[in-house]
């Protein structure tokens, strides 16, 4: 019996996905890209959501590297006049949020300096992949904008010789399904509801506008039709002004006619539509909607939102680190003073400051409690450091030289330690609300 052999139909990496193609059709994706950009430009809610993600993604972005010359080059690349990466962070965040894709275009000069540009996602016509694997992207084909701008093809440098690709493109995605090559924008599911909310709000404004409009009705005795038209023409050219005294003839009766429109309280409808927009992102009070007056409810709703922001921060940091790594490796081909394998660490600000206060409180207590165990030689230095870093919410650095701790001398007359207060110093943690409070000093 012949043994089975691996072919493109049986090997997983060679799976043919044509029969289970899950990407959106090109016309549908183009329409969604256009709607997302239009919503960002015109809809305040869409702009608010994009700004929220931008704040959490770009706030406090920084990088470090232990290799001095490598760090010097990375600073040069970051602050180069043709890069200005601090300003480009906003472009990257908005592009990823609105489109779900990022196409960074890299250009390398003879000295090994890399210049970065973010190519618009809606100008990419096709992503070319290997025949037997969708994850191996090889080329990116742009659209032909007009008769003066032809279509171009940018290669992905992964499978190309480095020296032959001074200009190349990469592709990063979010919200991507298995068997697809395109990502999907974070705002895409909100687009129908953003449109409905805008239409609902516009209808409410228009309805209330017409409810406040009125016209004068003048009834009188006129001898003929010409006299009535002359009186109407005069009143149209001399309408009564607000605050003035109107003197009429006894034969005229003045009245007001207004639209009798029933405008019921539709706040519940507006809230329901707004919830559909916020459910995928943030609590309602993030969108200027105080849904609940209790702080406990707001705090509980904030935790999932912060976790979502932290997830996006991780993705954003990974993209920035990848860009820095590419720039470093290209420079290393021309400059032997930089280390292409140097470890680059990219960090950003914490999603919530409340965790910092709680961790500070936990650390101040654990240092004293675990320190007493260390002094009595019940645990060693590595275990002591592990526990302290764990309660501080950090990880023990792996490349730091271990240090010998200094133990306190414990004698038989060692005084009984005072009970540990639930708060360290003037800091107190409310166990019900998790609020960190500061005890006011006595006068």
The whole-angstrom separation of Cα 295 and Cα 293 is: 7
Helix, strand or coil, per DSSP, at residue 257: strand
What span, in angstroms and rounded, lies between the C-alpha atoms of 253 and 294? Answer: 56
Q: Are residues 49 and 175 in the same domain?
A: yes
Query: Of 247, 278, 309, which marks where a domain is finished?
Result: 278
- Distance CA(259)–CA(213), nearest Å, equals 7
Domain shared by 46 and 130, yes or no: yes
DSSP letter string, 91-158: HHHHHHHHHSEEEEEEEE-TTS-EEEEEE-GGGEEEEEEETTEEEEEEEEEEP--BTTB---EEE-GG
Q: Which tokens hold the place of 221? A: 């005795």
Residue 423: per-residue pLDDT: 47
Same-domain check for residues 154 and 273: no
- What does the pLDDT look like over 335-356, one tens digit per residue? 999 999 999 999 887 766 555 6
Same domain? 134 vs 38:
yes
Residues of the chain with pLDDT under 50: 1-2, 11, 14, 16-19, 413, 422-424
Could you tell me which residues are beta bridge partners of residue 137?
A: 129
Does 403 fall in a domain?
A: yes
pLDDT in tens, 53-68: 898 888 889 899 989 9
Pick from 82, 89, 99, 76: which is nearest to 337 by CA? 76
Question: Does residue 131 sit in the same domain as residue 27?
Answer: yes
Assess whether 76 and 146 both reside in one domain. Answer: yes
* Residue that terminates a domain, selected from 240, 257, 278: 278
Predicted local confidence at residue 383, as pLDDT: 84
323 lies in a domain? Answer: no
In angstroms, rounded to a whole number, what is the distance separating the alpha carbons of residues 175 and 190? 14
Same domain for 161 and 44, yes or no, is: yes
Q: What is the pLDDT of residues 365-389, one digit of tens each?
A: 778 788 888 888 888 888 888 888 7
What is the pLDDT at residue 19?
A: 44
Q: How far apart are the first and last CA of the chain?
A: 94
Residue 347 included in any domain: no
Do 52 and 313 meet the contact criterion of CB atoms below 8 Å apart? no
The answer to the question of residue 9 being in a domain is no
- 243 backbone φψ class: left, alpha, beta (φ>0; ψ -120 to 50): left
Identify whether 142 is part of a domain: yes
CA-to-CA separations, 39 to 28, 58, 197, 387, in angstroms, rounded: 16, 22, 12, 48
Query: What is the model's pLDDT at position 231?
Result: 83
- 304 belongs to a structural domain: no
User: What is the rounded distance in angstroms from the CA atom of residue 115 to the CA atom of residue 106?
Assistant: 6
What is the per-residue pLDDT for 415? 58
Closest CA to 361 of 421, 411, 305: 421
Burial class for 416, CB neighbours closer than 10 Å (0-12, 13-18, 19+): exposed
CA distance 341 to 245: 87
Residue 411 structural domain: 354-438
The answer as to whether 36 is a domain residue is yes
Let me know if residue 327 belongs to a domain: no
**Is residue 76 domain-shared with residue 173, that is, in the same domain?**
yes
Residue 181 and residue 38 in one domain:
yes
- What is the per-residue pLDDT for 198? 82
Domain endpoint, select from 227, 253, 278: 278
Do 119 and 243 lie in one domain? The reply is no
H or E stretch including 206?
A: helix 191-211
Domains identified in the chain, total number? 3
Asked whether residue 200 falls in the same domain as residue 95, the answer is: no
* Closest to 182 measured CA to CA, from 244, 125, 261, 100: 100
On whether the CB atoms of residues 202 and 51 are closer than 8 A, the answer is no
Encode 41-70: b = buried (16+ Cβ within 10 Å), e = exposed: eebebbeebbebbbebbbeebebebebeeb
pTM: 0.68
* Domain identity same for 32 and 113: yes
């Amino acid at each position: 019996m012949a043994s089975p052999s691996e072919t493109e139909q049986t090997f997983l990496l060679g799976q043919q996905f044509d029969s289970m193609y899950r990407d959106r059709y090109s016309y549908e994706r183009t329409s969604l890209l256009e709607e997302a950009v239009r919503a960002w430009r015109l809809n305040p809610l869409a702009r608010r959501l994009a700004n929220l993600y931008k704040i959490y993604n770009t706030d406090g972005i920084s990088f470090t590297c232990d290799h001095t010359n490598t760090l010097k080059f990375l600073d040069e690349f970051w602050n180069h006049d043709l890069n200005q990466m601090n300003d480009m962070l906003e472009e990257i965040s908005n592009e990823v949020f609105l489109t779900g894709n990022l196409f960074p275009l890299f250009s390398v000069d003879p000295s090994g300096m890399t210049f970065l540009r973010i190519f618009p996602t809606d100008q990419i016509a096709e992503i070319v992949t290997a025949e037997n694997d969708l994850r191996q992207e090889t080329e990116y084909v742009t659209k032909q904008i007009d008769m003066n701008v032809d279509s171009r093809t940018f290669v992905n440098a992964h499978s190309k010789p480095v020296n032959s690709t001074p200009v190349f493109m990469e592709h990063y995605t979010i919200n991507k399904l298995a068997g697809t090559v395109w990502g999907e924008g974070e705002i895409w599911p909100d687009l129908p509801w953003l449109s409905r909310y805008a239409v609902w709000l516009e209808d409410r404004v228009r309805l209330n506008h017409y409810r406040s409009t009125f016209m004068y009705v003048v009834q009188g005795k006129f001898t003929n039709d010409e006299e009535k038209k002359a009186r109407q023409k005069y009143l149209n050219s001399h309408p009564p002004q607000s605050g003035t005294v109107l003197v009429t003839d006894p034969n005229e009766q003045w009245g007001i006619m207004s639209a009798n429109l029933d405008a019921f309280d539709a706040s519940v409808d507006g809230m329901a539509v707004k919830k559909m927009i916020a459910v995928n992102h943030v609590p309602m009070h993030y969108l200027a909607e105080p849904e609940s007056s209790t702080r406990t409810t707001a705090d509980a709703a904030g935790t999932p939102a912060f976790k979502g922001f932290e997830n996006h921060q991780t993705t954003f940091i990974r993209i920035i680190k990848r860009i820095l790594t590419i720039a470093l490796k290209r420079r290393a081909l021309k400059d032997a003073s930089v280390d292409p394998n140097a470890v680059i660490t990219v960090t950003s600000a914490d999603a919530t400051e409340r965790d910092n206060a709680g961790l500070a409180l936990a650390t101040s207590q654990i240092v004293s409690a675990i320190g007493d165990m260390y002094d009595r030689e019940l645990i060693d230095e590595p275990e002591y450091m592990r526990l302290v870093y764990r309660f501080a919410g950090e990880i023990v650095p792996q490349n730091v030289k271990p240090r010998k701790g200094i133990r306190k001398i414990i004698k038989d007359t060692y005084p009984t330690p005072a009970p540990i207060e639930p708060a360290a110093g003037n800091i107190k943690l409310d166990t019900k609300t998790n609020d960190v409070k500061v005890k006011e000093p006595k006068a």
